[in-house]
Amino acid sequence: MAIIILDNLSKKYRSGDKYAVDSVGFSLEKGEILALVGESGSGKTTLLRLIAGLEHPDKGSIVLGGNTIVNGNKSLRPNKRNMGMVFQDYALFPHLTIYENVSFGLKGLKKDEAHKRVIETIELTGLEENIKKYPHQLSGGQQQRVALARALAPRPELLLMDEPFSNLDTILRDQVREEVRQIIKTLGITAILVTHDTRDAFATADKIAVMWHGKLLQLDTPNALYNNPNSTYVAELFGKSNNLEAIVEDDGFNTPFGFIERHPNCPFTNKEKVNLFFRAEETALCEAEEPQLCGMVEKCIYLGDHMQLRVCCRRCTECGSADACKSLDSSARILLKSPVKSWKPGDTVRFKLKNFKIKDVNSSQE
């Protein structure tokens, strides 16, 4: 069952001329974790605030647990929405102990029940030793867990988190996001977290929604977003990708880097121009004897465990696509992944595509 359903939600701030959130709709199943990703200003926080009830939309509706909480002028007050919120700066009460911070939202429970709930939540978040301390006596990672414990103690139907990892350094961040995912999953709570960092989204979420200028561009599993992005923007957001122009032939594709055998499910017809979409890690270097593509190394970047090569067309006759090159963009550049070795600009590189997707030239442009 869907726990939350957003339908056609839009919000324009009085001072702004554009919609901060523009016709956004999606639903989430119980227990799912959704990451809202997008660059700064794309509308992530506004969407989260609309869901929390801290802003009211100009259009659209929100259904939570089967009840319409926002529609037209109707808007259920934030404190009636059964949602927990973790703010970017944690917003802990500095004058209250950790125990008191966590018990803050439990005013409706009897004293012994509230105590039991605080202890359970504190144990779940590994804060037992800090129960009597004040926020300033804790590290950033611990404060983050207190904020999470405080939001989770009332066992909300929906947990909302705005950039929950942005104040943590890289090493701590990896650890904290795994813990956060584990804790949310243990309680089976549905959660929406906002982040501008796609690694946070990959590490914590079951599904990812990409926002761009207030619009929802794509909502999918991390795997689907990475391997089957519906736009160039989404593809680039999740890592460098290649969009190589090619011409469909009877038995394959002509590209500026050589000929590729036909893809079994290619729906395109002869002489059509298409884009072949692939990521650098979907390429492999080959020996001269194998069927191969070839290009010239223009730039090599050392990345620790591998090298990234920027490769251009050699404008040679070796790859057998010299004629095709004339009708294709022979200034094309692609990125390849190579094991660490001493490449230098001007070297010939022979490679093949292990995997690629065929896209309509028009649909892959923004």
Q: How many CB atoms lie within 10 A of CB 341?
A: 9
In angstroms, how far is CA 200 from the centroid of its own chain?
Answer: 7
SS3 335: strand
Burial tier of 135 (Cβ tally within 10 Å: 0-12, 13-18, 19+): buried
Amino acid, res. 94: P
- Name the minimum Å distance from CB 99 to ligand ADP: 32
Stretch that binds ligand ADP, among 41-49, 173-181, 264-272, 292-300 (CB under 6 A): 41-49
The position carrying tokens 């949310």 is 184
The position carrying tokens 């979420």 is 205
Report whether 214 contacts 44 (CB < 8 A): no
Half-sphere exposure of 91 (CA within 13 A, CB side): 12
Which residue, 36 or 98, has its beta carbon nearer to Mg ion?
Answer: 36
The position carrying tokens 């990959």 is 202
Q: Please work out the total of residues on this chain that contact Mg ion, with binding judged by CB under 5 A.
A: 1
Please name the residues in contact with 303: beta carbons below 8 A apart, sequence gap of 6 or more. none
Euclidean distance between CA atoms 222 and 234, whole angstroms: 11
Which CA distances in Å does 252 have to 25, 255, 315? 40, 10, 20
Q: Binds 42, which of Mg ion, ligand ADP, none (CB < 5 to 8 A, cut-off by type)?
A: ligand ADP
Q: Binds 13, which of Mg ion, ligand ADP, none (CB < 5 to 8 A, cut-off by type)?
A: ligand ADP
Which residue, 20 or 313, has its beta carbon nearer to ligand ADP?
Answer: 20
Stretch that binds ligand ADP, among 12-20, 66-74, 165-173, 185-193 (CB under 6 A): 12-20
- Name the minimum Å distance from CB 361 to ligand ADP: 30
Which residue, 41 or 267, has its beta carbon nearer to ligand ADP?
Answer: 41
Among 1, 17, 40, 171, binds ligand ADP (CB under 6 A): 40
Which residue, 118 or 216, has its beta carbon nearer to ligand ADP?
Answer: 216
Among 3, 6, 9, 20, binds ligand ADP (CB under 6 A): 20
Which residue, 13 or 93, has its beta carbon nearer to ligand ADP?
Answer: 13
Q: Which residue is nearest to Mg ion (CB)?
A: 45
Among 3, 22, 38, 198, binds ligand ADP (CB under 6 A): 38
- Name the minimum Å distance from CB 152 to ligand ADP: 23
In angstroms, how far is CA 304 from the centroid of its own chain?
Answer: 24
Among 9, 43, 45, 256, binds Mg ion (CB under 5 A): 45
Stretch that binds Mg ion, among 26-34, 41-49, 60-68, 185-193 (CB under 5 A): 41-49
Stretch that binds Mg ion, among 40-48, 49-57, 273-281, 289-297 (CB under 5 A): 40-48
First to last CA, the chain: 34
Stretch that binds ligand ADP, among 10-18, 67-75, 94-102, 304-312 (CB under 6 A): 10-18
Q: Binds 121, which of Mg ion, ligand ADP, none (CB < 5 to 8 A, cut-off by type)?
A: none
Interaction mask 42-81, ligand ADP, x per CB under 6 A: xxxxx-----------------------------------
- Name the minimum Å distance from CB 332 to Mg ion: 36
Assign residue 165 a region (left: φ > 0; alpha: ψ between -120 and 50; beta: otherwise): alpha
Stretch that binds Mg ion, among 37-45, 91-99, 146-154, 258-266 (CB under 5 A): 37-45
Amino acid, res. 156: P
* Helix residue ranges per DSSP H, 30-157: 44-52, 98-103, 111-124, 140-152
Euclidean distance between CA atoms 36 and 8, whole angstroms: 16
- Name the minimum Å distance from CB 45 to ligand ADP: 3
Nearest residue to 335 (alpha-carbon basis) of 244, 255, 262: 244
Q: Which helix (H) or strand (E) holds 274?
A: strand 273-279
Q: List the structure tokens of 254.
A: 């002509």
Q: Binds 73, which of ligand ADP, Mg ion, none (CB < 5 to 8 A, cut-off by type)?
A: none
Residues binding ligand ADP (CB under 6 A): 13, 15-16, 20, 38, 40-46
Residues binding Mg ion (CB under 5 A): 45
